[in-house]
Structure 1
Amino acid sequence: MSNTVKDLAAGTAGGIAQVLVGQPFDIVKVRMQTSAKGTYSGMMDCAGGILKNEGPLAFYKGTLTPLLGIGVCVSIQFGALEFAKRKFAEQNAARGVGGDGGKLLSASQLVVAGVGAGLANGWVSGPVEHIRIRLQTQSNTAPLYKGPFDAIRKITSEHGIKALFKGQMVTFLREASGYGAYFLVYEKLVQREMATTGISREQLSPVKAVLYGATAGYGLWAVIYPIDMIKSRMQTDGFSPSTGQKYLNARDCVRKVWRTEGISAFTRGLGPTLIRSPFANGATFLGFELASRVLYS
């Protein structure tokens, strides 16, 4: 089995862990991001409303899409990241720089690798999250879509394949900036652990993998949250003026949200995100690290 295939498989394990842990928090975040101002008094009001009106299974509404799609997305992220890390390590070794045979990459190399991973992932995460958000925000009593495949069929038949990629440029911006920070934080924390304790990467404890993954998650959301809010607004918007389209493009969305709802709209739903982040991202890196050890052993 090639290294790339191993990395993709380990990334899939991390992605599945992320979805199972983080999905209930994510639906609360999306509902708060896309609701009109004043709809919910806070995170608990939103979560309580979902539980009361839609039942506990509603917290996993639209889960099939991310379970399949996010597994692929995280697989692509880690596959692209590890590929770039190997290439940079080879360059470092050839120049005689970097420790551990060139494997200890510089901050700039890690950022470039993370940006590349985010952009590669964005081609899949854009349509996957679009479908997930449509399912998460639709009416529970009169749903427009029966499930992810029905949503894909209806959207493409009515608006074309291009409609699946609604909000795609915002997605690319989010992924590139976010994953540059995400992997930089995680890898630098791992490097520091290895340097201070003298262990190899394979000896990193599961607890430290979770802790460093959680910290990386906060780094990710600190960079991308307002961008993510705009993406969510665009991906729940109508496809044309006749179907209730509010925003012409991302710039128009930023301008209208700022003018009508103020700066607080750009952080609405941040609470559940900050609670979700350490669990989901800790699980992601734990899944990846443990799967990698099995696959590379």
Structure 2
Amino acid sequence: MVGLKPSDVPPTLGVKMASAGAAACFADMITFPLDTAKVRLQIQGEKTAVDGIRYRGVFGTISTMVRTEGPRSLYNGLVAGLQRQLCFASIRIGLYDNVKNFYTGGKDSEYPNVLIRILAGCTTGAMAVSFAQPTDVVKVRFQAQMNLNSVSRRYSGTMQAYRHIFLNEGMRGLWKGTLPNITRNALVNCTELVTYDLIKEAILRHNLLSDNLPCHFVSAFGAGFATTVIASPVDVVKTRYMNSPPGQYKSAINCAWTMLTKEGPTAFYKGFVPSFLRLGSWNVVMFVSFEQIKRAMMVAQKRTEATN
């Protein structure tokens, strides 16, 4: 066994939500430069980059950003990213088991139907976007802006960005791209959680590994790859639409159509490698941390109850 042992008592909703939020923030801090590189590659093509800068590949993008804008540019939007994960991951991951049980009618089933899992994943993903959308808009815009000079920077700080968007674009600006984001995160969430669930379940059912770190690692890696393949097209449209100035695109669908007609189908898979590197590594760090933090919180809760 590697890491903490699984608890005999199921974790409470509060434990699951807190563990999911903490694990997602930890994963974001480690993988954020890959996410920033992904955003830069995704928006490349919608307009000529400043001073003719072009990004080629994930490591080329990171290298160019460090050389022209400094290392801190890789963490543009981190504060908004952590704010996003605190409310986003705690809902979409923390509520998943409870929503899954709700759809089964409260019946304890060791292996729920795949359709029930997919429905639960889509539900919690859509619910999370409703709360976290403004943080996602600010995060994307920070990652997209270039730090070459003061003129090219749209926002100086996270709170100033929320205020600026609200004053100039209204509430609709803060919730810009909600539809593609709900679509993207419903896909991501159900693929991520359902794939992780199924792979982990198959491994444990066939006694290939015990319910610990190696099992969580393999399950999370598989979930990351499957999620990247399915969610990349929607993710690119979401990023382009969120980052666009008012009036550039009539809607998310118009944004997708413009990309298709002007850049071709491959535009929907721009930034695929950094997306996979980011989602794969993010899933591994997040799920492994989530399982261990959840178990650690359960141990602490048991000790507190025993003392009382």
TM-score (norm 2): 0.85
- Pick from 283, 291, 294: which aligns with 1:292? 294
- Pick from 32, 37, 41: which aligns with 1:32? 41
For the 8 Å contact 1:26–1:272, the answer to whether it is kept is yes
Q: Report the equivalent of 1:87.
A: 102
- Pick from 63, 80, 89: which aligns with 1:65? 80
Q: Report the equivalent of 1:223.
A: 230
Structure 2: segments with no counterpart, 5+ residues: 1-10, 49-53, 300-308
For the 8 Å contact 2:129–2:182, the answer to whether it is kept is yes
1:296 Cα offset (Å): 2.6
1:4 Cα offset (Å): 1.5
Distance in structure 2 (CA, Å) of the matches to 1:126 and 1:225: 18
- Given the alignment of the two structures, is residue 154 of structure 1 paired with residue 175 of structure 2, yes or no? no
CA deviation string 1:197-242 (max 9, x = no partner): 298xxx6111221221121111111111000100001011112xxx
Structure with more of its chain in helix, by fraction: 1
Cα distance change, pair 218–46 in 1 and its aligned pair in 2 (3 A): same
1:76 Cα offset (Å): 0.8
Give 3-state SS (helix, strand or coil) of 1:144's partner: coil
Q: Report the equivalent of 1:196.
A: 206
Q: Report the equivalent of 1:105.
A: 112
- Pick from 267, 271, 274: which aligns with 1:272? 274
Distance in structure 1 (CA, Å) of the matches to 2:185 and 2:279: 16
Distance in structure 2 (CA, Å) of the matches to 1:252 and 1:24: 29
- Given the alignment of the two structures, is residue 78 of structure 1 paired with residue 78 of structure 2, yes or no? no
Distance in structure 1 (CA, Å) of the matches to 2:18 and 2:138: 24
Q: Report the equivalent of 2:61.
A: 46
Q: Could you say what the CA RMSD is over the residues aligned between the two structures, in angstroms?
A: 2.0
For the 8 Å contact 2:69–2:146, the answer to whether it is kept is no
Matched to 1:221, the amino acid is T
Q: Report the equivalent of 1:133.
A: 140
Q: How does 1:228-243 map onto structure 2 within 5 Å?
A: 228-239=235-246
User: Percent identity of the aligned residues?
Assistant: 22
1:40 Cα offset (Å): 2.5
Matched to 1:111, the amino acid is I
Cα distance change, pair 133–252 in 1 and its aligned pair in 2 (3 A): same
Distance in structure 2 (CA, Å) of the matches to 1:62 and 1:219: 26
1:13 Cα offset (Å): 1.8
Q: Report the equivalent of 2:14.
A: 5
Structure 1: segments with no counterpart, 5+ residues: 94-101, 240-244
Matched to 2:40, the amino acid is R
1:6 Cα offset (Å): 1.1
Q: Report the equivalent of 2:188.
A: 178
Matched to 2:254, the amino acid is D
For the 8 Å contact 1:15–1:71, the answer to whether it is kept is yes
